[in-house]
């Protein structure tokens, strides 16, 4: 196996334009993600996949690897699928460029799961649901688990009528860290969007609806990402209250 990390990135974010270059402690957000990815055990290489020269220049100036992609991609999965065609590897780990609090140990957990079953189709990091209100919160995606850790369905509002405690055992939060067998990524990205993928605006539903095996990789917590300008301050505040995050930040800034 050879696992490569891919970070899709572009400047044209609707809710927070140019957020990928937002400076946290004078280091662009994309570089926080890339450097943390390189701290994880098991990734052979890390690339940023982008259509914007400014992002490419920023990453390259810090010694990072970049693959230029088309400007027409509607999502990060398709951008990574194009980049994957230029890479010699067996597996791809897609990482979100707007998650500067990414934990290297979570990446290592993903890679361990992929190595345990290299013939699998896809893997998605998941975290526990901690509050009942999260089950119906539209802003993040949940999933229902079946046997052998298979993700049977993804949704934004829970379809279950069971108690919260019962739902906690079978429903988890979907995180923005997705692994693929390289050939499967290229194949699934070429498929047309599926019914519930479009209805729920959840890319993972294309895997589920076309019969792919999407495996849940449990991690212990979900972390704030940056979708809107106000969330940048939330990330900065989070670091101040976490010794693990503060240590990682020091390593990033000393790069």
Task: Provide the residue ranges of all domains of the chain, joining segments of one domain with +.
Answer: 3-253
Q: Determine phi and psi for 89, rounding to 5 degrees.
A: -160, 175
169-194 residue pLDDT tens: 999 999 999 999 999 999 999 999 99
Q: Determine phi and psi for 24, rounding to 5 degrees.
A: -100, 115
Helix extents (H) in the chain: 29-39, 53-61, 76-84, 104-116, 164-170, 182-190, 195-200, 205-209, 229-240, 243-253
Task: Decide: helix, strand or coil at residue 234.
Answer: helix
What pLDDT is stored for residue 187 in this prediction?
Answer: 97
What pLDDT is stored for residue 140 in this prediction?
Answer: 87
What pLDDT is stored for residue 13 in this prediction?
Answer: 86
What pLDDT is stored for residue 66 in this prediction?
Answer: 98
Count of other CB atoms within 10 angstroms of residue 220: 10
Supply the pTM of this predicted model: 0.95
Task: Decide: helix, strand or coil at residue 245.
Answer: helix
Q: CA 141 to CA 126: how far, in whole Å? A: 10
Does 3-253 carry CATH code 3.40.50.10860?
no
Low-confidence ranges of the chain (pLDDT < 50): none
* Strand pairing class (214-218; 122-127): parallel
What pLDDT is stored for residue 204 in this prediction?
Answer: 96
């Amino acid at each position: 196996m050879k696992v490569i990390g891919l970070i899709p990135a572009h400047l044209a974010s609707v809710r927070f334009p140019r957020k990928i270059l937002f400076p946290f402690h004078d280091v662009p957000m994309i570089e926080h993600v890339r450097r943390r990815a390189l701290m994880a055990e098991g990734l052979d290489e890390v690339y940023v996949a982008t259509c914007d020269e400014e992002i490419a220049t920023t990453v390259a100036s810090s010694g990072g690897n970049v693959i230029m992609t088309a400007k027409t991609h509607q999502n990060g999965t398709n951008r990574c699928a194009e980049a994957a065609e230029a890479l010699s590897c067996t597996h791809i780990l897609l990482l979100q460029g707007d998650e500067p609090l990414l934990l290297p140990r979570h990446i290592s957990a993903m890679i361990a799961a992929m190595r345990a079953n290299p013939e699998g189709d896809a893997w998605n990091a998941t975290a526990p649901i901690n509050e009942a209100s999260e089950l119906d919160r539209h802003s993040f995606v949940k999933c229902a688990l079946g046997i052998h850790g298979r993700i049977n369905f993804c949704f934004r509002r829970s379809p279950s009528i069971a108690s919260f405690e019962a739902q906690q055992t079978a429903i988890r939060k979907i995180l923005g860290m997705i692994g693929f067998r390289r050939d499967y990524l290229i194949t699934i990205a070429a498929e047309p969007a599926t019914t519930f993928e479009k209805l729920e605006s959840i890319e993972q539903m294309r895997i589920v609806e076309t019969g792919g095996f999407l495996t849940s990789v449990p991690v212990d917590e979900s972390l704030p990402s940056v979708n809107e300008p106000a969330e940048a301050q939330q990330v900065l505040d989070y670091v101040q209250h976490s010794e693990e995050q503060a240590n990682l930040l020091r390593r990033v800034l000393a790069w």
